[in-house]
Structure 1
């Protein structure tokens, strides 16, 4: 099982490592529009393709959405209470603790460990977390929130199209499905290389705050997995679906939290360190979840 886990995660590590190398040695990933291309074209195509091809009815999809929302709400309540107890500013520390990196880390991990069924679950979960980023994340860190920021989000629009397709039992023409499949195939590698770029560009200048960052970094994957373990089994999902959601809730601090902290003058160096430190732990937790659900 260990060798199978290593085999599954090796492409993820290698592609993220390639992104770090290309960032340090070349300008291949420097185009600022590359991230927008993935967010606005690649990820929606991946999501829509997975939803249209998954063997799941509308009720099953909405159950995944509901389970994800409940997990995020419970994590928000726990994190908010803990931050208040520790006298830390919830404005900047709550979103990183609540919102996992279900995008450029979670989706590839889910596909590597749980296959196409895990990928279908991951894109739905990731869309819900995207909504959380643009509501809870932007709302807390900026001090204000505008609904139009959510309406302009590509993955959210793709999720709504997928819901409509399932609700009315619509089927896409085969050429359209093939196009979505091709876009999906290039999206995961680019997402991982951009993750490597983000890690390569992280800056740690406030060394005095390292202990707080370490503590919060450890909390994110462990709290996410613990909350999901308490909530997800009540929904009656299949073993793969259940394991995928739990693994996704244990993902590391999201890179977008670092981007928001930078934009709104938050503790970006601490959040950068939280991303780096929570990454290996999140992979370890996801591997443990994968191992526990293997016999099922």
Structure 2
């Protein structure tokens, strides 16, 4: 089992390492439009392709959405209490603790460990978390929120199109599906290399930030996994779906939280440290969940 787990995660580690190496030695990943290409084209294509090909009805899809929302709400309440106990401001710390990295980490991990069924769950969960980023995340870090921002988010639009397709049992022509699959194929590798680029740029010089980031990095994966273990079994999912949801909720702090902190002048270096420090723990929990459900 351990060798199978290592085999599944090796491409993830290698691609992220390649991204870090390219960031150090070249300027291949420096174009800011590369991230936009993945977020606005690749990820929506991956989501729509997975939804249209999943063996799941609309009720099953909405159950995954509901379970994800319940987990995020539970994490919001627990994180609120945790930050209040630590006497830290909510504005910049609550969103990173609530929203896991279900995108450029969670989707590849789910696919590597749980195959196509895990991927289908992961892209739905990732879309819900995207909504959370652009509501809870933007709302808290910016101090204001515009609902129309959701309609400008590619994965959210793709999720709505997928729901409509399932509801009305619409089947796209095979050439269109093949096009979506080709766009999807570029998404995971580029996402992982961009993750590696983000990790390569972290600064570990401030010990005070390091200690605080350590506590947050422990809290996010453990609390997320525990919350999912309490909530997800009540929805009656299959073993793979249940395992995938628990794994996704245990993922590290999201890279998009770092991007939002940068945009709104938050503690970006501290959040970057949280990402790096929570990553090994997230992968360890993912391995434990995978082993338990084998």
- The corresponding residue for 1:16 is 16
**Does 2:199 match 1:183?**
no
Aligned residues: 294
Taking structure 2 as the reference length, what is the TM-score of the superposition? 0.99
- What residue in structure 2 maps to residue 27 of structure 1? 27
1:72 matched residue in structure 2: 72
CA drift at 1:203: 2.9
CA distance in 2 between counterparts of 1:187 and 1:112 reads 14
1:158 corresponding residue in structure 2 = 158
Cα RMSD (Å) of the superposition?
0.7
* Residues 111-260 of structure 1 aligned to structure 2 (within 5 Å): 111-260=111-260
CA distance in 2, matches of 1:224, 1:35: 26
- 2:88 maps to 88
Could you give the per-residue CA deviations for residues 179-237 of structure 1, whole angstroms, max 9, x where no partner exists?
Answer: 01111111110110111111112234533222111001100000000000000000000
**C-alpha separation between the residues in 2 aligned to 1:291 and 1:43?**
28
CA shift at 1:264, angstroms? Answer: 1.2
CA distance in 2, matches of 1:117, 1:153: 24
Please state how far the C-alpha of 1:85 moved relative to its aligned partner.
1.2
Q: Distance in 1 between matches of 2:92 and 2:290?
A: 32
Structure 2: where are the runs of 5+ without partners?
Answer: none
Structure 1 residue 86, shift from structure 2 partner: 1.2
Structure 1 gaps, min length 5: none
CA separation in 2, counterparts of 1:212 and 1:240? 35
Q: Secondary structure at the match of 1:211?
A: helix
What SS class does the counterpart of residue 141 from structure 1 fall into? Answer: helix
Query: 1:225 touches 1:246 (CA, 8 Å); kept in 2?
Result: yes
SS in 1 for 2:31: coil
Post-superposition offset of 1:25: 0.4
Q: 2:268 aligns to what?
A: 268
Q: TM-score, normalised by structure 1?
A: 0.98
Q: Secondary structure at the match of 1:126?
A: helix
Deviation of residue 151 (structure 1)?
1.0
> Does the CA contact (< 8 Å) of 1:205 and 1:269 recur in 2?
no
Cα distance in 1 for residues equivalent to 2:86 and 2:24: 38
1:204–1:272: 8 Å Cα contact kept in structure 2?
Answer: no
| Contact 2:214-2:274 within 8 A present in 1 as well | yes
Q: 8 Å contact 1:204–1:270 — kept in the other structure?
A: no
Q: Is the 8 A contact 2:204 2:210 kept in 1?
A: no
**Contact preservation (8 Å) 1:206, 1:269:** no
